[in-house]
Structure 1
């Protein structure tokens, strides 16, 4: 589904190099690594927000390397959720369909169906400023899913949530697992073990190949060792 080959993205004082990366259809791939290693640069590159110096990004057999974000079949949920404060929840979710000139009746139907699925139908008339962190996360996910993307990119989607809300968010992400190809950036080993089919490690701008989550967490990310022990005991590994 996603193939990245010989990708180089240069920013001021930083270079991202990805020799090879692949996420299969409906696979859930976690990207982990220390802060500042290039994880967000990678997902923004896939999304089309950053232009590469060289390389290829292929989605479902189509080279999208130099296509604009809206032409890639990709949706992204940024770390801050990125909701527009001047729009209601309904308008936030509907916006991606509006810019694609979808019929208003179809927009209403799609928003209603997705809001019911994510249990946010009672929030549709509210302002994002009136939502809790967990509610904003669900709305941001709804806005991403409304276009039925081939690929969903999640940049630390639970980092700002309290433990109770984070647990609910993980349940939500487990609901969509297997229905869309996901690339999910996180520092949380529990999230990685619960959600990830594979983990790829980012280290100083270099991304390793996706591997089995337990192998990566126990053998490659030694600085997570205490959290890993707790996480693996919680889920019975």
Structure 2
């Protein structure tokens, strides 16, 4: 089954910051949370999985293939950033269609696939609107649509719910579960919210100060025996 991620001996330098992950595996179709404080390296790990920049050492394998040697179109992943990164000069429809156009899909297929994903997320009515005039919840669904219209094996989400009000957040929790079921993909999401990680994920990785400190089943996040640093972070 597609969607496996293996991290081996990873070292990433970003300015003065360094991320170290000796070994980490995410199973196909797993919902996996990366939990940690602000600045701990959560997004650096997420972007590393996406192959966004070179590594100082180590490898990340997507279904056994090194992400650094895979062309972008062969990585079969989608990424949604915290600020959604929608193109402001494009309509919602054009934003969602962008990746398909870059991949050379014929117009008829683009229209069918974009229409289907807009309907799935109930945003057909804003298809001709621009990002500057839609709500935060709508922007989140547009960003998810743009990623999922490519039918990725792996979906990467960078703090996808942090800027949303509680009611919208609850609705999108349900949307995420539906996405996982419908698209049958592996989901890796970054969060600093303990309860969010525990509710949504199968397993949780804890990253502190640029170092992977623990990987535990989400349901056992507060039940496991942790070292002093992780216990302090969790408030135990």
State if a TM-score over 0.5 links the two structures.
yes
Q: Which residue of structure 2 aligns with residue 165 of structure 1?
A: 168
CA distance in 1, matches of 2:159, 2:215: 18
Displacement, 1:174? Answer: 1.2
Structure 2 residue 193 is matched with structure 1 residue 188: yes
Q: Which residue of the other structure, out of 52, 55, 60, is the alignment partner of 2:58?
A: 55
TM-score by structure 1 length? 0.90
CA distance in 2, matches of 1:23, 1:101: 31
CA distance in 2, matches of 1:127, 1:95: 14
- Root-mean-square deviation (Å): 1.6
Equivalent pair of 2:80/2:147 in contact (CA under 8 Å): yes
Q: Which residue of structure 2 aligns with residue 234 of structure 1?
A: none
> Compared with structure 1, are the counterparts of its residues 72 and 82 closer, same or farther at alpha carbon in structure 2 (3 Å cutoff)?
same
Displacement, 1:68? Answer: 4.8
Q: Which residue of structure 1 aligns with residue 81 of structure 2?
A: 78
CA distance in 2, matches of 1:76, 1:221: 30
Q: Which residue of structure 2 aligns with residue 210 of structure 1?
A: 215
Q: Report Cα offsets for 1:194-229 as digits up to 9, x if no partner.
A: 210000000111114532113224544554559xxx
CA distance in 2, matches of 1:99, 1:172: 27
Gaps of 5+ in 1: 227-237
Q: Which residue of structure 2 aligns with residue 128 of structure 1?
A: 131
Instruction: Give the 3-state SS of the residue equivalent to 1:10 in structure 2.
Output: strand
Gaps of 5+ in 2: 225-229
Displacement, 1:28? Answer: 0.3
Equivalent pair of 1:177/1:195 in contact (CA under 8 Å): no
